[in-house]
Chains A and B, each alone.
Chain A
Amino acid sequence: MFLLAYLAPGDPVTVFYLSRIGGRYSHAELDYIRQMLGLDQPIHIQYFRWIWRMIQGDFGQSYIWNQPVLPLIRSSILNTLRMMIPAFVLSILFGIVTGVISAAKQYSKTDHIVMASSLLMWSMPWFWSGLMAIYIFSVYLHLLPTGGMYTFGQPPTVVDQISHLIMPVLLYATSGAGFITRLTRSCMLEVLREDYIMTARMKGLKERVVIYKHALRNAILPVVTVVSLYVSYLVGGAAVIEFVFAWPGVGRLAVLAATQRDYPVVLGINMVVATVVLIALLIADISYAYLDPRIRY
């Protein structure tokens, strides 16, 4: 039942999404795709044929890289995950810690400072801070490489790759941490107002135990849910970071393909990313239902 309910919004997602692309896309002068699909066919037939090929895994040929789209996307997505996952873990850890501290000391000086700096972090154009970091650490101090995944002409080593990862991961992490800090704080404050927290306090439990054991456990769930809702947004943020650091991920691939009008690649990426996001949401939803005793399907 749960699956049905969730797939219901999921299915129109793909349909709606594709029909938007499909409908407009035949109006645009895309001869390449048109030939591929058959010009004389009515739009909806073109469109269904195209979907059908997609489902079969045939995303067509890339225009500029001159190879099938799917393997291209697959390898770039792996690269993206290699950067995104450590960054994501970092920002969640950091955000939750600062958010909890801030909530535990609501209205204190610490709270005000944390709130103000998280808002600063949130206002940061992260691609710009990326440029500044490159300037300081690579151009000026020669500490870290400017971008890419490996140093050219050297055998790939772990150390080398980590040195390439440091800046993008840290920057990506800070861009999300501000948001997660504020989110955690408000969820914590909500939980701290609840009755069972009062009971725990009245039982004479130490404030620290109350906050870390009882409150945090209940606050984490909404934090995770909200964050999972923003997955598609996070993916967009990753794309810009990849672009700054020339990290060969899926976002950069999309940007390059778009600026060079490699439509099969752009379309393929949109499809794949939408699917991945959908799966991520699905997993978040299932685990939510699993973790939260109040929700049973």
Chain B
Amino acid sequence: MTQFAQRAVTWSENWRRFRKNKAALIGGLIVLAVVITAIIAPVISPYNPDDVVAGRLQPPSNKFWFGTDGIGRDCLSRVVWGSRTALMVGLGASLISVIVGVAFGSIAGYYGGIIDDAMMRICEILLVIPSFFLYILIVSIFRVRGPEYIAVLLALTGWTELAKIVRVDFFSLKEREFTKAAIGLGASDIHIIFRYLLPNDLAPIIVVATMNIAGFIIMEAALSFIGLGDPTACSWGIMLSQGRQYIGYAWWLATFPGLATFITAVGFNFLGDGLRDSLDPRLRGTI
């Protein structure tokens, strides 16, 4: 019970704790840098990412810092523009999975009983299905390959963790006295969920959503890498898959987009981890 009382801290207090956590601060800065890069991509990228600007497979030089790719496009520009794709997939998939997962978890947790049983069965099914093979199947059947489709696919199988967290928290939150007080005032179910339960469950939702962004970005890169992405898209995974073809002679092709994926994932994971420690001491040390 006191755990919940402790949770009642102001945002300025959260911020103070967050600032003390170095890893989290670094994560936050990385995320900020990636976001800014994505926004000002047209300004900072030296060339148009789709233009053939030089001979193919030129090693890094003063003119082309990250070298050129298999058809002579500038790799730096493509890495810079690739951040847009990565963020779009990561944020988009995470947003969808939060909406689906929180809605699912809220309903299951709030109503409980048979509704909850049925809904948890669905979660279990999703967990058992090897989602990776499902993507392969769906991508190959529908020939949907663009990053936006991949984002939706990732989100639609990636929301179960959130749903479970919200559900379990709702079980205890709905028995709390302040929820009873709201019922006593005559509040509707929707009102109780949105004003009383969800606001008290924001911390874990934010944390998981942030760390999911990293996972989704890596998954998108992985799917593009194995050839299930749209080969014309400007995505880090597509660049990596090209890098694999030329691994014998052009190291730079795979190195830079992979590094970009790695750094971005590190940023979101460290940010999420730091948020967990500062928003919700109760969760400190959980994975």
Contact = CB atoms under 8 A, between A and B. Distances in A.
A267 B228 contact: no
A54 interface: no
A269 to B, nearest CB: 6
A135 B255 CA distance: 10
B243 interface: yes
Interface of A: 9-10, 12-13, 16-17, 21, 24-25, 28, 30, 106, 116, 119-120, 122-125, 127-129, 131-132, 134-135, 139, 146, 179, 182-183, 185-186, 189, 229, 232-233, 235-237, 239-240, 243-244, 251, 254-255, 257-259, 261, 263, 266-267, 269-270, 273-274, 277-278, 281
Contacts of A240: 222, 225-226
B141 A24 contact: yes
B254 A132 contact: yes
Nearest to A271: B133
Contacts of A274: 128-130, 133
B229 to A, nearest CB: 11
Given A122-B269, A232-B128, A25 B247 contact: no
Contact of B132 (A16, A120, A131, A235): A235
Shortest 8 CB-CB distances between A and B: which pairs? A236-B132, A128-B258, A258-B140, A123-B265, A182-B287, A232-B130, A123-B266, A131-B254
Contact of B133 (A10, A127, A229, A254): A254
Contacts of A182: 287
A179 B218 CA distance: 15
Contact of B140 (A134, A189, A266, A277): A266
Nearest to A124: B262
A134 B136 CA distance: 25
Contacts, number: 154
Contacts of A127: 221-222, 225-226, 240
Interface of A, secondary structure class, is: helix
A128 B251 CA distance: 12
A45 B286 CA distance: 49
A270 B124 contact: no
Given A240-B226, A255-B228, A232 B129 contact: yes
B270 interface: yes
Interface residues on B, range: 35 or more
Contacts of A243: 225-226
Contacts of B139: 258
B160 to A, nearest CB: 10
Contact of A232 (B131, B244, B285): B131
Interface string B249-280: 00100110111011001100110010000000
A140 to B, nearest CB: 8
A236 B244 contact: no
A131 B236 CA distance: 14
B247 A273 contact: no
B131 A179 contact: no
Contacts of A269: 133
Contact of A259 (B124, B228, B248, B286): B228
Contacts of B269: 119, 122-123
Nearest to B263: A123
Nearest to B227: A259
Nearest to B287: A182
Contacts of B285: 106, 185-186, 189
A131 B240 contact: yes
Contact of B243 (A25, A131, A237): A131
13 contacts: A13-B125, A28-B141, A125-B221, A127-B225, A128-B261, A139-B251, A183-B287, A186-B286, A232-B131, A240-B222, A240-B226, A258-B139, A274-B130
